[in-house]
């Protein structure tokens, strides 16, 4: 079963063809990072316009790379949310147009669920129940997954998402955008020597990252940061410490078989290493290009939705504030 995946929820225009939910036949991504970097963050109107410009060429490239024609496809999976309304609309309308023109079924995919399904592209041995740590620009969620499409959200951030915290910390330190890779790069030359607070929120599985960000801001404003690399390393350490400790604790408590680490922040090398080292439960994490936004993960998730007969009509619409469960 060949599924065309389409992803336009944020600042990457992506299309991919995936076979049977596991085999990537193509995975094309047009990033807008350089354009938004000029503004220090994503400008929603600019993002929508860029998706309109990029979507047709990216679709063509994905079909050529997969050596597929429209008649080779069995269905289309498209991100419907969460994300920027104007950006999501581009992908959803293109998906519906192709579905109508070629008589293909379409299914709307939750972007967060897509991130989770990136793991099916790298492993054939995924065992339920499992715990997912979903860390992206807009989310820091801990979820119990009991089966395909069956989630219980155990915890989420009460303020900034972890990716958002990385982006804001990079801005505070003048390291540029996107902040996650910039902080990780700067931290390579630093020592985590600056004490920064950790919000443990004991008795809950929730996260909070605004305190550590504000503590960093106060130090910078007070002229106490003389070495940016040390500040980046200390900030990265503080965020990862909380993410790893709370994820391992909840996975033990739920007696799960595996932990899946997903989302853009999961491409952080130290986070991957720390979680693997500190967890007695096996950890799966996709390669970095499948952690940040891509359409292969949407196609993989779509495959399982089609298998469960979750087919949408041409009245499919975007849901910008869609939740996992």
Which residues contact ligand KG4 (rule: CB under 6 A)?
A: 10, 136-138, 163-164, 166-167, 178-181, 184, 263-265, 267-268, 292-293
Cα 321 from Cα 303, distance rounded (Å): 23
Closest contact distance (angstroms) between CB of 288 and ligand KG4 is: 7
Cα 49 from Cα 57, distance rounded (Å): 14
Closest contact distance (angstroms) between CB of 4 and ligand KG4 is: 20
268 is a contact residue toward Zn ion (CB under 5 A): no
DSSP sequence for 62-103: HHHHTT--GGG--EEEEEEESS-HHHHHHHHHHHHHHHHHHT
CB nearer to Zn ion: pick between 225 and 324: 324
Closest contact distance (angstroms) between CB of 258 and ligand KG4 is: 20
Q: Among 69, 48, 57, which residue's Cα sits nearest to residue 4? A: 69
Closest contact distance (angstroms) between CB of 121 and ligand KG4 is: 15
Closest contact distance (angstroms) between CB of 193 and Zn ion is: 32
173 to 212, contacts with Zn ion by CB under 5 A?
none
* Spatial contact of 82 and 111, defined as CB atoms under 8 Å apart: yes
Identify which range of 76-84, 153-161, 238-246, 290-298 contacts Zn ion by CB under 5 A: 290-298
Whole-number CA gyration radius for the chain:
20
CB nearer to ligand KG4: pick between 160 and 230: 160
Q: Residue 322: how many CA atoms within 13 Å on its side-chain side?
A: 21
Partner touching 180 among Zn ion, ligand KG4, none, CB below 5 to 8 Å by kind: ligand KG4
Partner touching 265 among ligand KG4, Zn ion, none, CB below 5 to 8 Å by kind: ligand KG4
* Spatial contact of 132 and 148, defined as CB atoms under 8 Å apart: no
* Spatial contact of 178 and 136, defined as CB atoms under 8 Å apart: no
Closest contact distance (angstroms) between CB of 222 and ligand KG4 is: 25
Count Cβ atoms below 10 Å from residue 181 Cβ, excluding itself. 19
136 is a contact residue toward Zn ion (CB under 5 A): yes
Element (H, E) at 23: strand 23-31
* Spatial contact of 232 and 186, defined as CB atoms under 8 Å apart: yes
Identify which range of 132-140, 182-190, 212-220, 228-236 contacts Zn ion by CB under 5 A: 132-140
140 is a contact residue toward Zn ion (CB under 5 A): no
CB nearer to ligand KG4: pick between 99 and 175: 175
12 is a contact residue toward Zn ion (CB under 5 A): no
293 is a contact residue toward Zn ion (CB under 5 A): yes
* Spatial contact of 118 and 21, defined as CB atoms under 8 Å apart: no
Closest contact distance (angstroms) between CB of 319 and ligand KG4 is: 15
Is 9 buried (19+), middle (13-18) or exposed (0-12) by CB count in 10 A?
Answer: buried
Q: Which whole-number Å values give the CA distances from 163 to 54, 127, 166, 290, 307, in the listed order?
A: 25, 27, 5, 16, 32
Closest contact distance (angstroms) between CB of 178 and Zn ion is: 12
CB nearer to Zn ion: pick between 84 and 259: 84
Identify which range of 80-88, 91-99, 134-142, 212-220 contacts Zn ion by CB under 5 A: 134-142
Which residues of the chain form contacts with Zn ion (CB under 5 A)? 136, 293
């Amino acid at each position: 079963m060949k599924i065309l995946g389409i992803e336009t929820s944020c600042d990457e225009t992506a299309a991919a063809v995936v076979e049977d939910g596991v085999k990537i036949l193509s995975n094309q991504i047009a990033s807008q990072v350089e354009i938004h970097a000029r503004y220090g963050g994503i400008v929603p109107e600019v993002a929508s316009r860029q998706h309109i410009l990029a979507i047709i060429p990216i679709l063509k490239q994905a079909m050529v790379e997969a050596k597929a024609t429209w008649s080779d496809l069995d269905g289309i999976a498209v991100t419907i949310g969460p994300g920027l309304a104007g950006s999501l609309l581009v992908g959803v309308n293109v998906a519906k147009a192709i579905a109508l023109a070629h008589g293909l079924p379409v299914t709307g995919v939750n972007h967060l669920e897509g991130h989770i399904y990136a793991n099916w592209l790298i492993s054939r041995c995924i065992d339920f129940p499992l715990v997912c740590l979903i860390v992206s620009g807009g989310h820091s969620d801990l979820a119990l997954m009991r089966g395909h499409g069956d989630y219980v959200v155990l915890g989420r951030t009460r303020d900034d998402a972890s990716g958002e915290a990385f982006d804001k910390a990079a801005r505070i330190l003048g390291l540029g955008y996107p902040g996650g890779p910039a902080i990780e790069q700067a931290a390579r030359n630093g020592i985590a020597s600056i004490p920064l607070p950790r919000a443990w929120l004991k008795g809950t599985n929730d996260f909070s990252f605004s305190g550590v960000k504000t503590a960093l801001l106060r130090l910078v404003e007070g002229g106490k940061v003389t070495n940016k690399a040390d500040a980046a390393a200390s900030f990265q350490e503080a965020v990862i410490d909380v993410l790893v400790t709370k994820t391992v604790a909840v996975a033990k408590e739920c007696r799960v078989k595996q932990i899946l680490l997903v989302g853009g922040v999961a491409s952080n090398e130290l986070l991957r290493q720390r979680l693997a080292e500190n967890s007695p439960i096996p950890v799966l994490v996709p390669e970095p290009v499948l952690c940040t936004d891509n359409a292969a993960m949407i196609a993989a998730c779509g495959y399982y939705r089609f298998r469960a007969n979750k087919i949408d009509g041409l009245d499919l619409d975007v849901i910008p504030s869609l939740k996992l469960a």
